[in-house]
Amino acid sequence: MIIFQSCLWQTNSTLIEGKEECFLFDPTYYPLELEQIKKSLPDKRLNLIYTHGDWDHIAGFSEFSYGHTLGHHKISESKDQIEKVKSFDLQWYVARDKELEFPRIDEEIGEETTKSTSDDSLYFLPIPGHTPDMMAVFFLERKLVVAGDVLSDLEFPFIFYSSQKYIKSLQMMKEKITEHHIHTLIPGHGRPIFNSQREILQRIEDDLAYLHQLTSGDKRAYYRQQPIPPHLISQHEANINFVETELK
C-alpha cells in the first residue's frame, strides 16, 4: 500500500496492490503529484475508486480515465464540482496537460456491497452525512478501511448534507470496524492510523460527541476537549447554521 498525500489540505490518494489488479482511490491534486502516482502504478488492471465527488478528490480523473471506475450512484449529482476545480486552477495558475473531466462511473454502488478480488474481499459501505455520495471501502482480509472525508485528525465533521445521517453513518462505521476487526484507517485528509483499532474507535467517539453537541443546540467551539482553531471557526459556525436550519 502507498499513500500519496497532496500538499492541498493533506488530501490522501491511496494505492493498494493486489495479486492481479490494483485499487487507486481519489487521485489528486496537482500535476506533479499525479505524475508521481502514475509512475508508481504496477502493470496490473486498474480499479479507480471514488469515495465521493468533492472537487478536491476528483481532479485527477483525466490522468487515470482508462481504469475501471467505481463510486456511489449519487456521484453523478455532483458534476458542478468540476467547475470548482477549474476555478481553483485559474486562481492559482495550475496548468494541466489534459483537460479536466468529471469522473465517469462504470460501476455504481447504491447499497452495502461485497466484491471478491484475487486476494481480498472489498466491502462497500455508503456513509452519507458529509455529502450524500460518501462511501467507505473495507479490505476485509487486510483489515483496513479507506474512509473518505470522515475520521480525519485535522478537522471535526463538516456537514454539507445531513447531521442525522452523519451520526448514523459513524455508528455504522463503529459497528463494521468492530465486526471485521479493522485496525488500519486511511482518511481523506490527514494522518492515517495503522494497527490500532482503539485509535480508530476513539476518532469515531470524538466525532459523534461533536455531532451530538451540535444537534443538542450546544454551540461551544470545542472539539476533543480543545478550542477549535481559528482557521476552522467559520466551518464550525456553518455547521451550527446548517443544523439549526435542518432541525427547523
CB 150 within 8 A of CB 157: yes
The whole-angstrom separation of Cα 71 and Cα 79 is 13
Pure H helices in 24-180: 31-40, 55-58, 81-91, 163-179
Q: What are 113-123's pLDDT values in tens digits? A: 999 998 899 99
Assigned C-alpha cell, 216? 443538542
Angle at 184 between CA 156 and CA 26, to 5 degrees: 65
Helix (H, G, I), strand (E, B) or coil at 117: coil
**pTM score of the predicted model:** 0.95
What are the structural domains, with CATH classification, of the chain? Answer: 2-247 (3.60.15.10)
* Residue partners of 88: CB distance under 8 A and separation at least 6: 55, 94
What's the sign of the alpha-carbon dihedral 55, 140, 119, 110?
negative
Question: What single letter denotes the amino acid at residue 133?
Answer: D
| pLDDT attached to residue 220 | 84
Average pLDDT over residues 145-170: 97
Q: What share of the chain is helix, strand, coil (3-state, %, to 5)?
A: 35, 25, 40
Closest to 127 measured CA to CA, from 213, 235, 240, 51: 51
At residue 222, does pLDDT exceed 90? no
Q: What are 18-41's pLDDT values in tens digits? A: 999 999 999 999 999 999 999 999
At residue 225, does pLDDT exceed 90? no
| pLDDT attached to residue 233 | 95
| pLDDT attached to residue 17 | 96
Closest to 199 measured CA to CA, from 184, 219, 187, 213: 184
